[in-house]
Structure 1
């Protein structure tokens, strides 16, 4: 999937950075096997079959709907505080949000990576594919200080075709995002909000131990935003429509990255 348009990463999350080098310093109580990310690994047929049996509507074995709350109801997560005011993920309603999202998708900087420029119908088809689906992907507006200013897709990475391209774990949660207005880009807002949303996922989804991003390698601002938000670059993956940087934020490393 080609769904990333972020901002630069010059904002560092506020406060002084921890005196910790994740490349050289040991982490008390942390075991390296908790974060194995060898991208050469692939899902085995046995694991694919197990996931398909446990979740018969998964991306690896399409079937009946998986049921509600695959993402633990983002609509109920509520607002959280940030340095720029309260931020909340609000699930998209087509009749309310379509015109705004169409305008954002027709921005050339967004269209280059999302591929959804065109009429309202183009964007509506994309949204309906999620809203009328089984709940493995939830499109949301990011509302900051009362103003809708970003678009987010939270998705079950372990139930997505992406899982065939990296060593997925149960309940891995993926993020796609874009910043709507040109004036909001390039000043660290993407970094701030990516960290905020990743924290929300880890706080509201106790079964999820990893948040995943896969920005296009050409999208340097988005990749920088992920890195600034505490994600680790674990490798590159060749997806059907892009070569992506695989970014992972681990629950186990949350306090030090």
Structure 2
């Protein structure tokens, strides 16, 4: 899923120049000054009705992780947003409540081909655990449409992610990973509509972020198409470990034009 080794990218965007200054957060992370781990007790919450979540403001199983608000401006407080297809809300994952649903989505063959997280629930749990006990550079979320969970998202700091080794990252670049969970929600144009809404939400709540980026597998034509529909521009093909990706970018400066 995420890049881990250095490779090359062929860029089509002459304006994407390499930023040599390190973000303050990265310097602090390298010095071991940020981040805190959640306890097992923090992550064990009684499951609620998986079809509907009555209290989306309860982001994690325990108190918000140290650093989440510093690195991604507190995703849990962004709140719902109206879209042409309904009210959409990003709700940070709670493992005790959401694991079964997320694992079921990951075992859908169409999803497993690109996410590679199929198998027993502990596979998805380990993936979620690595983010929820991390330093806050990635926040896993459920996407609720009119109150119903229908998608899984990861909002992450692309400039602090291994992805930054593969393209000319700029400070505060924010990345998106997404999957549409239900088969009946695919192929109806929801992806492009919701990606636009989430990208706008990021730009609204992260004033230091000038670009939202993503790296869908180049073979995943519906995903690439959804990003382009959502106002992202194609910037490069990037060779990542395990996949060749389409690097797509939504620029704040072009927000009202694309």
Could you say whether these structures have the same fold, taking a TM-score greater than 0.5 normalized by the shorter chain as the test? yes
Question: What corresponds to 1:12 in structure 2?
Answer: none
Preserved contact between residue 137 and residue 156 of structure 2 (Cα < 8 Å) = yes
**For the residues of structure 2 that align with 1:141 and 1:182, how far apart are their CA atoms?**
16
Question: What corresponds to 2:180 in structure 1?
Answer: 179
Tell me the secondary structure at the aligned position of residue 130 of structure 1. helix
Distance 1:2 1:185, change over 3 A: farther
Question: Of residues 40, 65, 69 in structure 1, which corresponds to 2:34?
Answer: 65
Question: What corresponds to 1:56 in structure 2?
Answer: 28
Distance 1:253 1:115, change over 3 A: same
Preserved contact between residue 2 and residue 162 of structure 2 (Cα < 8 Å) = no
Tell me the secondary structure at the aligned position of residue 56 of structure 1. helix
Give the alignment's TM-score, normalised by structure 1: 0.80
Tell me the secondary structure at the aligned position of residue 136 of structure 2. coil
Q: Which runs of 5+ in 2 are unaligned?
A: 4-12, 36-66
Distance 1:96 1:52, change over 3 A: same
Q: Which runs of 5+ in 1 are unaligned?
A: 4-33
Question: What corresponds to 1:95 in structure 2?
Answer: 96
Distance 1:53 1:93, change over 3 A: closer
Question: What corresponds to 1:202 in structure 2?
Answer: 203
| C-alpha deviation, 1:213, in angstroms | 0.6
| C-alpha deviation, 1:51, in angstroms | 3.9
| C-alpha deviation, 1:65, in angstroms | 2.6
Distance 1:170 1:2, change over 3 A: closer
Give the alignment's TM-score, normalised by structure 2: 0.80
Distance 1:170 1:53, change over 3 A: closer
Distance 1:227 1:62, change over 3 A: farther
**For the residues of structure 2 that align with 1:96 and 1:103, how far apart are their CA atoms?**
13
Q: Deviations over 1:176-211 (max 9, x none)?
A: 000001111011100000001000000111111100
